[in-house]
Amino acid sequence: MRHFTRYSTLAKGLFTPRGRQGKKIVVVDVRLTPTARAADYFLQIKPGTDFEVFNALRALIKGLRLGNVDPGTGTVAGVTLTAWQELAQLMQSCRYGVVFFGIGTTMSRGKEMNIELLLTLIRELNRYTRFYAIPMRGHGNVTGINHVLTWQTGYPFAVNFSRGYPRYNPGEFSVVDMLGRREVDAAFIIATDPGAHLPRAAVEHLQKIPTIVLEPHCNLTTPWAQVVIPVAPAGVGAAGTFYRMDNVPLRVKKLVDFPYPSDEEVLRALKERIANA
Amino acid sequence: MSSIAGFLITVRTARQGVAMVGGKLSPEYQKETATLEVNAAVLSALGLAPGQRARLRSPFGEAVVTCRPAEVPAELFFLPLGPTANLLIGTDTGGTGVPCFKGLEVKLEPYHGATAGDEQ
């Protein structure tokens, strides 16, 4: 709801003084959600058809005819061609459009190819108007680790330093794959909860190896981790920087004294201890 | 009908978000992340009433869930991402780094047995 009220649907800005009244919201999803109920248009597509949808929109925006779809009665991904034509027209004619896409697009059939095609669509839309695509991030500051890793290594995630220099390969160096293959023999978890978010086999392997967790809360990893180091949460007990999901870094202040050190203090102490060992 | 095949889609719910604030070890979080949203006609076909339990089976494991009827397509089952859903997900990512959290083939069947939490 924060996104709705402050940043997207209801927000008023310099060029959108009427807030919700000055915007068109279109939701494309496989089911009716509260977001879809608040939208102007809801297009309920069949699961796993993202690639098909983006391709169709690209063709319609270029004015091409979809050869295998009847112009009168045809459908794409379970939605009438007429509805897609209206959406393509709306996207082309708006002053400033944004596609917010979630893990339904990135994790369903097609995966990274869906995103490649979506970004191609957005690039082509910019020939007509101003258009962006912003991934909806699931947790606070996921964007932050992507930024810092990219700034430090050139790669956004799945970075391996075992040879002394960064190497990048999702599927080989990503956490689920490495745990699934049982290649990891010790884990240092910072500010995330693999016990709640990783597949069972990955969690079972973590439970068998030394796992150290830096975490301000009790979560589904802390009960079985071998070492839990409590830390002060950034923005409450420690200063820090969050990256908003539109890539804007926001500095947060320390509000209250906390009995625990910050992540940075713990990491610095560990680094010095290892360097002087 | 003894079981129905469909596709599991892991999601996030507002209830899950609220329960998370109280802690992931809270009964509210555990209950919400084990609640499956299913088409009402599918529930009836399985002989299940709202609030009754069912078992999901995938090639990687099985999990017992509580069923909640919802306005969703018949072939899709929606379960919040969390410890229950993780029992069903495999570790193969197809070279992308992310396993199949959306569109995993599963079977849904009525469940009449006990679960680990029943004794408490």
The whole-angstrom distance between B86's CA and the closest CA on chain A is: 4
To test the contact with chain B by mutation, choose from A200, A203, A207, A221 the residue with the greatest count of B C-beta atoms within 10 A, namely: A200
Cβ contacts of B34 on chain A, cutoff 8 Å: none
At A1-58, the pLDDT tens digits run: 688 888 889 999 888 999 999 999 999 999 999 999 999 999 999 999 999 999 999 9
What band does A132 get if pLDDT is binned at 50, 70 and 90? very high
- Give me the DSSP letters along A77-93: TTEEHHHHHHHHHHHHH
Q: Is the pLDDT of residue A140 over 90?
A: no
DSSP B60-101: TEEEEEEEEEES--TTEEEEESSHHHHTT--S--TTSS----
Residue A80 pLDDT exceeds 90: yes
How high is the ipTM of this complex? Answer: 0.91
How many other C-beta atoms lie within 10 A of the C-beta of residue A274? Answer: 8
Q: Per residue in A205-214, is it b (16+ CB within 10 Å) or e — as a string?
A: bbeeeebebb
Average confidence (pLDDT) over A208-231: 96
Confidence of residue A189 (pLDDT cuts 50, 70, 90): very high
**How confident is the prediction for chain A on average, in pLDDT?**
94
How many CB atoms neighbour CB B38 within 10 A?
26
Mean predicted confidence (pLDDT) in A211-228: 96
The tokens for A180 are: 């699934």
Does residue A72 have a pLDDT over 90? Answer: no
Among A32, A47, A195, the residue with its CB nearest the CB of B103 is A47
Confidence at B116, pLDDT banded by 50, 70, 90 = low
Contacts of B72 (CB under 8 A, 6+ apart): A31, A32, B37, B38, B39, B78
Mean pLDDT for the stretch of residues B75-94? 96
pLDDT band at A70 (very low <50, low <70, confident <90, very high): confident
Average pLDDT over residues B78-93: 96
Q: Tell me which residue of A168, A177, A268 sits closest to A214, measured CA to CA.
A: A268
For B56, phi then psi, to 5°, come to -100, 135
Q: Which structural domains are found in chain A, ordered by start?
A: 2-135 (3.40.228.10), 142-275 (3.40.50.740)
Provide the 10 A C-beta neighbour count for residue A248.
9
- Three-state DSSP class for A182? coil
Q: Which chain B residues touch A181 with a CB distance below 8 Å?
A: 91
- Give the distance from residue B1's alpha carbon to the nearest chain A alpha carbon, in angstroms: 24
Percent of chain A residues topping a pLDDT of 90: 85
A130-139, A203-212, B28-37, B44-53: range with lowest mean pLDDT: A130-139
How sure is the predictor about B120, in pLDDT bands with cuts at 50, 70 and 90?
Answer: very low
Q: Which residues of A touch B (CB under 8 A)?
A: 30-32, 34, 47-48, 103-104, 106-109, 111-112, 138, 157-158, 170-172, 174-177, 179-181, 193, 195-203, 217-220, 223
Architecture, CATH, for domain B4-113: Beta Barrel (2.40)
Percent of chain A with pLDDT over 70: 100
